[in-house]
Amino acid sequence: MTINPQSAAERSCELPRVSGERFAGYAVVGAPFAGGHYLALRRFPASSIGDGYTSVWHRDPAGAWTVYSDVPPELSCPRFLGHALSRTEQTDVRAEWTGPNRLHVTAGGELEWDLRMDTSPATTVMNVAGRIMPDALWHSPATLAVMGRLAGPVLGVGRVRLAGHMPNGQWFRANPRQLWTAHTVRAVVDGFDLGPDGPLPEQAAFGDFRLPQRALFATVQTWFEPFDARRHFAARPRAEESPSGR
């Protein structure tokens, strides 16, 4: 049975039954551009630490990352990524379906992004494998390590890690439950058209989490080590950290 991305996304709000800080929803896991830019989206209606949120990540060709979120950084992606960011911006972020496989994303007045999702033989194989795998295996770090090693070559996206540590120090586990290929129809940041899709010269990463070298859309469950101010970096970007760095 084929489910379109919009239908799958609207059903993907069940938090994983594990310990930790948990989130569920959907994501453009990452989308590289031939000119060196990079975009990603996280739409998590379900969160164990506060209200659900929508967040867009942008990397410029110099490697500087900005994360736009519609809730404070402490309750969204910078909670885990802040130490690797150049800037965070709390603003109106929206992900709106304009068709069963088309998504329109905006972040304040700075960013506009239109996407189209499709199936491929590789995503079909991964989705079939995911449907028949027992839920307990989805929560096993050893299983996630094997899945990551297999997913990269099968999907042609470079190296994949579904478990490891984030820039702020917390461990993470990621379950991409259903996958589609994604294609940017148009993306504009600060009035600049990012141009065509294309892999980066070097694969981007946030700690152990490696961003795909081809655009992917997924329904996702993910969870993280609970934040501990004594051991983890804060949500603010590195340039705003105190001299102690914590």
In a domain, residue 138? The reply is yes
* Structural domain harbouring 197: 5-229
For the packed helices 121-132 and 141-155, what is the interaxial angle rounded to 10 degrees? 160
Count of structural domains within the chain: 1
Task: Give per-residue pLDDT as tens, 194-234.
Answer: 999 999 999 999 999 999 999 999 999 999 999 999 999 99
Q: How confident is the model at residue 242 (pLDDT cuts 50, 70, 90)?
A: low
| Residue 11, SS3 per DSSP | helix
In a domain, residue 245? The reply is no
Mean of the per-residue pLDDT values for the chain?
93
Q: Which is nearest to 80 in space by CA: 146, 143, 21? A: 21
In a domain, residue 55? The reply is yes
pLDDT of residue 244: 43
Q: Which is nearest to 221 in space by CA: 20, 8, 7, 44? A: 44
32 vs 213: CA distance, rounded Å = 6
Task: Give per-residue pLDDT as tens, 133-175.
Answer: 888 888 888 889 999 998 999 999 999 999 999 999 999 999 9
In a domain, residue 236? The reply is no
Burial class (CB in 10 A: 0-12, 13-18, 19+), 185: exposed
In a domain, residue 9? The reply is yes
Burial class (CB in 10 A: 0-12, 13-18, 19+), 231: exposed
pTM: 0.94
Is pLDDT of 245 > 50? no
Structural element, H or E, at residue 9: helix 5-11
In a domain, residue 151? The reply is yes
Which DSSP symbol is given to 179?
E
In a domain, residue 222? The reply is yes
